[in-house]
Amino acid sequence: MFEPASAPPSPGPAPSVAELARLLDGLSQVRVDSERDGIDQLEALERVKSACAAAQARITADLDVRRAARSTAARMSGSAPLPGHRDPHSAAGLASAVALARRESPHRGRRHLALAVALGDLPETLAALERGDLSEEAALVVAEETQDLALTDRRHADGLLADRCDDPWEGLGLDELRRCVRGIAQECDEDAVRRRRARALRGRRVTGRLLRDGTAQISAVVADWQLAAVQSSLAEAADRARAAGDDRTRGQVMADTFVARLTNQVTAVATPVAVGIVISAEALLGDDDSPAHVDGVGPVPASIARRLVAASPDVRSTVRRLFACPETGSLLAMDSRARRFPAGLRDFVRIRDQFCRTPWCDAPVRHTDHPRPRRRGGPTDRVNSQGLCEACNYAKEAAGWRHRTVSEPHEQHTVEITTPTGHVHRSRAPAQPMPTSGGRLPAVRIRDLASA
């Protein structure tokens, strides 16, 4: 897969940002002369991608060294944070800056930072990445599978991998590479692997995410031996149902059995829930078919949203009505018939923002944050508010970060984010459903809506 690193050539002058921009422009001029030439270019560009990832890792590692030096200087000067306060030079702030620069989520930024630091102890893997012999994802696999080893064992494992990944190993997939590195790590320190396994089991959890077209995916992190038991049990139930003449597919029976066993009912639609629906008045009354937005689900057809509203008394749900500016689609207010929920403003922000407001972060909203902090006189209202995930809310407290609302109350809510290096990014709340017909409701229909 990759060969042991040789002595690196003498480095030349580092390319400037302008030179990198010219390289980017040059890539847009790539043309294919033949099919063979096209495949060769794809392979060459893939190697360039790996070399770029190696360069990004070196830059990130250098930034981390500078961050650590500032943190050390702060402690020696007596300006370190008090116990219980956050280190202004924390790695979280750097990881967020890296993520914004790379236009990825903060979670990916933390992984990039961890990889950059790890590659300092994996010279063979770094050299292979620089040559384009393995991808950034493959390098990340090596780093993750050796992270619990002591430094000497880590470097020994890196060397063993380089020795074994020669021509016979060419074409390793990520899963096969992971198994290979895991085996080498066990050879180096079996106790470290057992500690890693125990830590992973402590992180067992259940998560879910939306897919498309009205479907979702539930994921559970459990012990590996439990996977076989769960799959076997569901498969057995599916086989019995199919043998009894059930016309559902085997996969459908397994999915339905999974839901039934978790909820103690055939389907989960009768569970009392609080439903946040953002829908235009025209669509609610049937005069328009523009999509609605269901909190936690996303856009749904107007007909489905109307059925949710109509069915809410039967399923003992709470329906929240939200009001948007007809010109901009910006949420302006919310009423609620809920009785046992947190403050309405917190719900308003969560429904308005839908996901963490940090650019490229898809994490769910966990914290309601003041862009202009309360300690600096920031008010607690819908303008000076944003929904953030937990990690992003902590990261923005690092020194040099600044968030501020730059939109007017009637405009789509926009927050300007300034990083410690002076780079500026803008985060705009998602647009809310608006009528597509362009017509206005008759006065009688408005009265019907108000009394709904």
Length of the chain: 452
Look over the chain and give the mean of its residue pLDDT values, rounded to a whole number: 78
**pLDDT grade, residue 85 (50/70/90)?**
very low
Residue holding tokens 């109509």?
Answer: 310
Question: So what's the pLDDT on residue 222?
Answer: 83
Tokens of 79: 């300006």
Task: Please say whether the beta carbons of 186 and 179 come within 8 A.
Answer: no
Beta strand 318-324 with 274-278: parallel, antiparallel or unpaired? parallel
Question: So what's the pLDDT on residue 337?
Answer: 47
The pLDDT tens digits of the residues spanning 432-444 come to 666 665 544 444 3
Task: Provide the residue type at 412 as one letter.
Answer: Q
Question: So what's the pLDDT on residue 440?
Answer: 46
Compare 126 and 374 and report the one with higher pLDDT. Answer: 126
Average pLDDT over residues 361-386: 85
The pLDDT tens digits of the residues spanning 191-242 come to 887 787 788 888 888 888 878 777 888 888 887 667 777 888 888 888 888 8
Q: For the packed helices 106-119 and 91-101, what is the interaxial angle rounded to 10 degrees? A: 110
Whole-number Å distance between alpha carbons of 288 and 277: 16
DSSP annotation of 167 reads G
Average pLDDT over residues 20-31: 84
Residue holding tokens 């993750």?
Answer: 144
pTM: 0.67
Average pLDDT over residues 113-118: 94
Domain ranges of the chain: 35-77+84-202, 224-263, 274-428
Task: Quote helix, strand, coil % in the chain, to nearest 5.
Answer: 50, 15, 40
**pLDDT grade, residue 163 (50/70/90)?**
confident
Whole-number Å distance between alpha carbons of 167 and 179: 18
Compare 293 and 169 and report the one with higher pLDDT. Answer: 293
Tokens of 407: 């939109």
**pLDDT grade, residue 169 (50/70/90)?**
very low
**pLDDT grade, residue 154 (50/70/90)?**
very high
Average pLDDT over residues 105-112: 92
**pLDDT surpassing 90 at residue 49:** yes
